[in-house]
């Protein structure tokens, strides 16, 4: 379990070539992200996303186990009722790209690390339990909110989608409101 300790904040000098490089300037990263989003609008006429790829994957997996049920499930049917394989979906390929891009950037910046990100006072067990619980809750949030942080807040935010701005405000409101209760995990 020795490897499961949080990494120290990135501090690097020329002498420490194997230490992770510091993260990018937030405004530069934001401009880069914005240009990627803009290219999605220009090339595809749609924005970025993530949760949709999970929906396609679950729809496909369930169609292997219980094809009749999956096809009759209103939430999943639209992800199965596509020409070709359910995984030949735009967001599935985009998320595969996200994985590849993250590895590429992480390797080049020496930030690949088998670790658990958590506050100094939180145990690994608590952190992993909360990671699962948070993911579970957010799946319901994304399904009800018709998109996640990428598909609603980022994408809809840029094209001035009214629902996306409501979603974004509530997202930050919910996070700030709940932060105090889970501070032991992070602080």
| Residues numbered 42-71 forming contacts with another protein, rule: CB under 8 A | 42-51, 54-55, 57-59, 62
**Is position 139 an interface residue for another protein (rule: CB under 8 A)?**
yes
Q: Which of 5, 101, 121, 123 binds another protein (CB under 8 A)?
A: 101
**Is position 162 an interface residue for another protein (rule: CB under 8 A)?**
yes
**128 touches 185 (CB < 8 A):** no
Q: How far is the CB of 63 from another protein (least distance, A)?
A: 11
**Is position 109 an interface residue for another protein (rule: CB under 8 A)?**
yes
Q: Which of 15, 27, 64, 68 binds another protein (CB under 8 A)?
A: 27
Q: How far is the CB of 19 from another protein (least distance, A)?
A: 15
Q: How far is the CB of 51 from another protein (least distance, A)?
A: 5
**Is position 12 an interface residue for another protein (rule: CB under 8 A)?**
no
**19 touches 110 (CB < 8 A):** yes
Q: Which of 5, 67, 97, 123 binds another protein (CB under 8 A)?
A: 97
Q: Which of 23, 67, 123, 184 binds another protein (CB under 8 A)?
A: 23
Give the list of residues 6+ apart from residue 26 with CB closer than 8 angstroms, or none: none
**Is position 177 an interface residue for another protein (rule: CB under 8 A)?**
yes
Please tell me the distance from the alpha carbon of residue 175 to that of residue 149, in angstroms, as a whole number.
Answer: 12
* C-alpha distance across the termini of the chain, in Å: 21
SS (H, E, C) 68-130: HHHHHCHHHHHHHCCCCCCCCCHHHHHHHHHHHHHHHHHHHCCCCCCCCCCCCCCCHHHHHHH
Which DSSP state fits 180? G
Q: Which of 31, 67, 78, 184 binds another protein (CB under 8 A)?
A: 31
């Amino acid at each position: 379990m020795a490897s499961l300790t949080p990494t120290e904040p990135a501090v690097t000098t020329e002498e420490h070539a194997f230490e992770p490089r510091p993260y990018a300037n937030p405004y530069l990263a934001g401009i880069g992200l914005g240009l990627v989003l803009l290219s999605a609008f220009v090339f595809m006429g749609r924005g970025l996303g993530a949760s949709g790829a999970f929906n396609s994957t679950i729809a496909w997996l369930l169609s292997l186990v219980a094809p009749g049920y999956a096809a009759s499930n209103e939430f999943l049917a639209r992800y199965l009722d596509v020409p070709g394989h359910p995984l030949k979906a735009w967001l599935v390929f985009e998320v595969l790209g996200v994985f590849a891009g993250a590895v590429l950037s992480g390797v080049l910046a020496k930030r690949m690390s088998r670790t658990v990100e958590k506050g100094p006072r939180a145990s690994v067990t608590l952190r992993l339990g909360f990671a699962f619980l948070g993911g579970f809750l957010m799946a319901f949030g994304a399904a009800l909110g018709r998109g996640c942080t990428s598909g609603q807040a980022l994408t809809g935010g840029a094209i001035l989608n009214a629902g996306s701005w409501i979603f974004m405000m509530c997202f930050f409101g919910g996070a700030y409101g709940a932060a105090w209760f889970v501070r032991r995990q992070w602080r």
